[in-house]
């Protein structure tokens, strides 16, 4: 990698880290029920928190008009409100910093010619997706401000998946700029290891999506036992919601969503083991090392997931469970990239 190429690569890696930070902090926001504390979307003015008692009381008065305050937090004091406000404000601040970290360096790179105009589409696309992600964040929050004391679990999942997509694009683009190897690039799925890695990436993405549904529905509280749920591996009538479509049942019924998320994890485990076995004899050493990292993270994630249930979804376990899930996705993405190279 030349000195001229290095700044753009570093920029992409910083963007990926900021995206990961947004997702991890976003998980903390949800778990602390802080996301609906700021009832307006003020991208510029909202960059600063309220200053002075009068300003704080004004914000608290707005929150007191929301369903969440009336139905859930009606006993909350101003001090309690300030705590959840600052958590959500910090999340939005990271998003603002990430947006600036995308737009300002991108403009500089284009102006200086470090990113040729003919290659600018990908990077401009990242900036546009950041703008869309900001809108989706408000679109999610707005669903919990009027008729219900929580956000739409569908909108929450869309917001999460968009962040995951942004992380994947930024990370992949950074990895593609690594010119330290002259190895030829294989076609995705062109060999058995790559096919298994692609299948694992798809499975992890689906697991993250159902994790978003679990979070939005608070379905983690459906059952605190494992492996049995309601005294059975497959509770009776789990997928037999009267009058509902199969799609609504598997995405909006808290027990069904919970059951799918806990057992689809075994699909991820199976594909992970398969990938390690397939790579053992045919993949280059660098790819094998990445698959071992994947296996280790998946093992930790399973232990965290089971512990979250056994200990009734405590913050100290649920938050790391979400963070490690993002780490699993990133590691699997890197394994896919590495397996596209012959050496």
The number of domains in the chain is 2
Residue 232: phi and psi, rounded to 5, are -145, 155
Pair (161, 255) in one structural domain: no
Does the bond joining 241 to the residue before it have cis omega, within 30 degrees of 0? no
- Provide the pLDDT for residue 343: 45
* pLDDT per position as a tens digit, 302-338: 999 999 999 999 999 999 999 999 999 999 999 999 9
Pair (175, 280) in one structural domain: no
Last residue of a domain, one of 180, 195, 214: 180
Pair (19, 131) in one structural domain: yes
Pair (133, 33) in one structural domain: yes
- Provide the pLDDT for residue 139: 96
Q: Which two tokens stand for residue 318?
A: 């649920």
Q: Please identify every stretch of the chain with a pLDDT value under 50, giving residue numbers as ranges.
A: 182, 343
CA distances from 187 to 170, 290, 337 (A): 20, 19, 11
- Whether this prediction's pTM lies above 0.85 is answered by yes
Pair (98, 244) in one structural domain: no
Pair (68, 203) in one structural domain: no
CA–CA dist 287, 134 (Å, integer): 35
Pair (168, 189) in one structural domain: no
Pair (144, 252) in one structural domain: no
- Provide the pLDDT for residue 91: 95
Coil vs helix vs strand at 265: helix
CA–CA dist 325, 121 (Å, integer): 30
Centre a 10 Å sphere on the Cβ of residue 283 and count the other Cβ atoms it contains: 24
* pLDDT per position as a tens digit, 20-36: 999 999 999 999 999 99
Pair (211, 102) in one structural domain: no
Pair (150, 220) in one structural domain: no
Neighbouring C-alpha atoms within 13 Å toward the C-beta of 158: 17
Pair (170, 191) in one structural domain: no
Last residue of a domain, one of 159, 180, 201: 180
Structural domain containing residue 137: 1-180
Are the C-beta atoms of 172 and 122 separated by less than 8 Å?
no
CA distances from 246 to 5, 236, 250, 256 (A): 50, 16, 6, 10
Pair (95, 160) in one structural domain: yes
Last residue of a domain, one of 131, 152, 180: 180
- Provide the pLDDT for residue 182: 45
CA–CA dist 79, 270 (Å, integer): 48
What DSSP string runs through 227-252?
S-BTTBSS-TTTT--TT--HHHHHHH
């Amino acid at each position: 990698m030349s000195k001229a190429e290095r700044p753009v690569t570093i920029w992409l890696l910083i963007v990926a880290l900021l995206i990961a930070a947004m997702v991890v902090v976003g998980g903390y926001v949800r778990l602390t029920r802080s996301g609906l504390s700021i009832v307006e979307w003020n991208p510029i003015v909202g960059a600063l928190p309220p200053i002075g008692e009068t300003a704080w009381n004004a914000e608290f008065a707005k929150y007191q008009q929301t369903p969440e305050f009336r139905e859930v937090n009606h006993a909350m004091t101003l001090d309690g409100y300030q705590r959840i406000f600052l958590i959500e404000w910090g999340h939005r601040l990271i998003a603002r910093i990430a947006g600036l970290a995308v737009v300002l360096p991108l403009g500089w790179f284009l102006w200086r010619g470090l990113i040729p105009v003919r290659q600018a589409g990908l990077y401009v696309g990242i900036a546009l997706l950041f703008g869309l992600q900001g809108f989706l964040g408000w679109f999610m929050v707005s669903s919990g401000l009027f008729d219900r004391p929580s956000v739409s679990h569908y909108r929450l999942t869309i917001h999460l998946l968009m962040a995951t997509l942004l992380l994947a694009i930024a990370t992949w683009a950074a990895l593609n700029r690594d010119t330290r190897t002259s190895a030829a690039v294989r076609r995705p799925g062109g060999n058995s290891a790559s096919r298994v890695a692609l299948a694992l990436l798809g499975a992890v993405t689906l697991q993250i999506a159902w994790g978003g549904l679990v979070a939005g529905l608070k379905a983690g509280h459906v059952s605190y036992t494992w492996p049995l749920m309601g005294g059975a591996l497959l509770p009776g009538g789990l997928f037999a919601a009267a009058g509902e479509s199969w799609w609504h049942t598997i995405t909006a019924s808290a027990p069904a969503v919970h059951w799918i998320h806990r057992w689809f994890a075994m699909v991820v485990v199976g594909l992970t083991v398969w990938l390690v076995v397939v790579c053992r004899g045919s993949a280059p050493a660098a790819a094998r090392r990445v698959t071992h990292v994947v296996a280790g993270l998946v093992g930790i994630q399973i232990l965290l997931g089971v512990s979250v249930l056994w200990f009734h979804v405590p913050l100290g376990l649920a938050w790391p469970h979400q963070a490690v899930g993002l780490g699993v996705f990133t590691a699997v993405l890197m394994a896919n990239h590495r397996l596209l190279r012959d050496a």
